[in-house]
Structure 1
Amino acid sequence: MDAGLFTANNVWMMVCTALVFFMHTGFAFLEIGLTREKNTINILFKNVFIICVGLLLYYIGGFNLMYPGEFNGFLGFGGFGLNIGEDGLTPAYADGGYTYWTDFLFQGMFAATAATIVSGAVAERIKLGAFMIFVIFYVGLVYPIVGSWQWGGGFLSTLGGEDAGFYDFAGSTLVHSVGGWAALIAIILLGPRLGKFDENGKALAIPGHNIPMAAAGVLILWLGWFGFNGGSVLSADPGLTSLVLVTTSLAAAAGGVSAFFTSTVLYKNFDLTMFLNGILGGLVGITAGADLMSPFEAIMIGLIAGVIIVLGVALIDRVKLDDPVGAVTVHLICGIWGTLAVGLFGSKAGISQFLYQLTGVAAAGIFCCLTAFIIIFTLKKTMGIRVSKEEEIEGLDIHEHGMDAYPDFRMNQH
């Protein structure tokens, strides 16, 4: 391979790595904006912890757990630390798409995302210590094991033969649903925030304190998704990369429009938070097949994802679960939709492919639910996972961190 092309490929992958890293700012802004100001420091702390510990865990063993080399298709381990090998910095590695170091860093950014999804769902009432322990086990073990089943050459990648199998281009299931399943288990075991439901079980709105910040977070996430999906091409291939960015953007736009239109028809108001989550739903929905879809098919996937957002949020309230940022609807339900859409739209569409996709969704769901339940239930029975009533009412920032995100604002209140 030409040295210039190898360099260009690697530079593009490093740019995408930076964009995926920037997504953590978007997640933090979105979570802060949709929750109350008294828990801002707590949310920021969790997000910073996830990035730092996620990268260290991925270095220690996560990378080699996810990409173990030759293994039985279910569980393998390539050893601790990083081993660059003889070809790690040459075009012989990854067909000249990137170097070993870039590979580790790009994939490490994905690993941290799975836990960030859970952070938003459990916001405002989980003990920080319990959450940190959960992150260590879930990012360190569960995420890379599920990833190895497909991206590491495991059993999902060879269903029906080497040219067939489950398909998840950039992680509708392997990233978003992995986080979404854990979020679902967590909010079931954790219970709703105080004041979320009245004595009759009716859901009450708990408004976020900074909707402009939430909007900024979603736009940052959209920008970061150009690296999330664009980098998943695993090279700077001009045709495929540009197609992926087009399908990603169109699905996001369609998801936003569909969600705001659906919520307007049902609730007779222009709900910005539904609009924002619709954009995210479209992005999650297109992630599994962004490289397979035509622009029109991407729009169709986004339109359906937008409807799913509105109905999914209502469903979560109806079953008396509390998800402050809509993480379960966005990342789990739309992640499932996007994964199944590969069997319905695009160049792989067909009954066999749909069944492969369904198998992948089921396998990830069963494993993630089981492991998340074991981790969180054990924490609940030992150290506890929920803060006290007093701490929840007064805010986690003061009780768990001894500081305030907006001290001047509080002083002016008095």
Structure 2
Amino acid sequence: MSVMELSKGLDTVWVVLTAAMILLMEGGFALLEAGFVRQKNAVSIIMKVFVDIAFGALVYYAFGFAIMYGSDAGGWIGTNGFMLKGDLSFIHLNISIDTYWLFQSAFAIAVISIVSGAVAERINFRAYILLTIVMTGLIYPLAGHWIWSVNGWIHRMGMIDFAGSAVIHALGGFSALAAAKFIGPRIGKFSKDGRPNIVPPSNLPLASVGTFILWFGWFGFNAGSTLSATNSSIGHIAVTTMLSAASGGAACILFTMMRYKKADPPMVINGSLAGLVSITAGCAYVSDEAAILIGASAGIAMVLVTELLERRQIDDPVGAFAVHGVSGSIGTIAVGLFALPGAAGRIGSSHYGLFYGGGWTLLGIQLFGLLVVAVWGFLLVWAALWLINRVVPVRVSQDEELVGLDVGIHGVPAYSQEHDFIDLEQLKNK
């Protein structure tokens, strides 16, 4: 076996394994969101995650990948590679297109999973299937093409987003904000005078385990984006990922102790996730110390934005926008501030962080790219939901919401006792 063949084999194994780690994050999303919502809606969370994986993978295979990575002349949309057919040799990789698709499909599935949390406990299941198709087949692939494709118009400007603080998390977060605003708050979440009512999580230990699974999968998310088992930066990427997540959690513990006189468990859970989200863009390009600062900033910002949304009467049950939209934005901007000289050699030595003497160029590019994906995600999801609502109601009925989506939509509770019996004929006749 030649050295080249060995290298290709190692890279293939590395990318498949890290793709599997990212797919395992769907289990993390399921547990996190099921723990945050009320007991009567836990099954609905699990079913939405199955939709993310099943429909998301098929749609991204059929045309999402082609739109995102296919060749084009203007940098706006890919035009070949549907169902992985056609000439894709211009994508210079040391792995097969099949392997690359598997890795990228895990990212596409993650994007819609971000949105699902913001509409938990009140979205119509059929409408969610349609939204998943639009998100994984069009909205995300187009934004990804602009920033990650070799022909993408924002990519050619020099934007840096190593593993997706902007392309995945900011896009998903602002899409989640649009979805939460469009569908409206849960019944009883806000009183008549606008004050928010606390909706206690059903199972915080479950949510915590989900967070730990997400944390584990994030090493595949970030380090796997090297697409190479022999890349010397893998260790550094893993360290910055760990430090940012830890500082996000630590900052939330201290900040909530000062603000609320108690360490707030849901905030601490989301603080660690905020740290993970914020380092995703720059994990390969910033120092360890910068990673700690980035994660801590994202953790504190997440708390403040969560409070702001409640004051604005926007109901986001799992904090999707505060964790992904805000932290993704912080991480994207942080690259323009903290990128080390030489770390982003692919776009020239003049493009590095402002704090290292790189000037305003990279920061300006990062801000522009962030603005594009934020506006794109918000407007397109709002438009998609408006169109979907003309086909099938986006929101469940009042009765279904009150009884819970588990029984009202799926016909089965998440938790039952031995003495519980369900009249199937009665459910069918409803």
**TM-score per shorter chain, which class?**
over 0.9
d(CA) in 2 for partners of 1:384, 1:378:
10
Q: 1:353 aligns with which of 342, 356, 362?
A: 362
Matched, 1:53 2:50: no
- Choose which of 110, 115, 118 in structure 2 pairs with 1:113: 110
Query: What residue number does 2:149 align with?
Result: 152
Deviations, residues 211-260 of structure 1 (Å, cap 9, x unaligned): 11100000000000010001111211342011100000000000000012
Give 2:64's aligned amino acid. G
Aligned to 2:272: 279
Is 2:71 aligned against 1:69?
yes
Corresponding residue of 2:371 = 362
**1:164-208 Cα deviation digits (max 9, x unpaired):** x11100001101111111111111111111121112211111011
Give the % identical residues.
39
Structure 2 unaligned spans of 5+: 341-351, 355-359, 422-430
Given that 1:93 and 1:99 are in contact with CA atoms closer than 8 Å, whether structure 2 keeps it comes out as: no
Once the two structures are superposed, the pairs formed by residues 280-295 of structure 1 within 5 Å of their partners are: 280-295=273-288
1:21-67: per-residue Cα shift (whole Å, max 9, x none)? 10000000000000011111111111011101111011101111100
1:314-393 correspondence to structure 2 within 5 Å: 314-347=307-340, 348-350=352-354, 351-393=360-402
Is this contact kept in 2: 1:285–1:301, CA < 8 A? yes
Distance between the aligned counterparts of 1:268 and 1:410, measured in 2? 43
Query: Is structure 2 residue 166 aligned with structure 1 residue 166?
Result: no
Q: Note if contact 2:81-2:88 (Cα within 8 Å) is conserved in structure 1.
A: no
3-state secondary structure, aligned to 2:73: coil
TM-score (norm: length of structure 2): 0.90
> Is the aligned partner of 1:12 residue 2:14?
yes
Match of 1:23 among 17, 22, 25: 25
Which of 279, 291, 298 is the equivalent residue of 1:298? Answer: 291
AA paired with 2:384? I
CA contact (8 A) 2:178 2:379 kept: no
SS of 1:257's equivalent in the other structure is helix
Distance in structure 1 (CA, Å) of the matches to 2:399 and 2:288: 51
Q: Residue 268 of structure 2 aligns to which amino acid in structure 1?
A: F
Tell me the equivalent position of 1:78: 80
Q: Is the 2:278–2:327 contact (alpha carbons within 8 Å) kept by the matching residues of 1?
A: yes
In 2, Cα distance between the equivalents of 1:205 and 1:409? 31
Separation in 2, partners of 1:146, 1:212: 35
Instruction: For 2:394 and 2:327, locate their aligned partners in 1 and report how far apart those are by CA, in whole Å.
Output: 27
After superposition, the Cα gap between the structure-2 partners of 1:312 and 1:86, relative to the gap in structure 1 and judged at 3 Å, is closer
**2:426 is matched with which residue?**
none
Q: Distance in 2 between matches of 1:358 and 1:206?
A: 35
* Equivalent in 226, 229, 233 of residue 233 of structure 1: 226
Q: Once superposed, what is the RMSD of the aligned Cα atoms? A: 1.7
The alignment covers a number of residue pairs equal to: 402
Q: For the residues of structure 2 that align with 1:86 and 1:166, how far apart are their CA atoms?
A: 23
Please tell me whether the aligned partners of residues 297 and 346 of structure 1 are also in contact (alpha carbons under 8 angstroms): no
Distance 1:20 1:291 in 2: 18
Correspondence for 1:162: none
What displacement does 1:409 show? 7.7
- Alignment of 1:403 onto 2:412: yes
Whole-Å separation in 2 of the counterparts to 1:352 and 1:271: 39
8 Å contact kept, 2:84–2:97: no
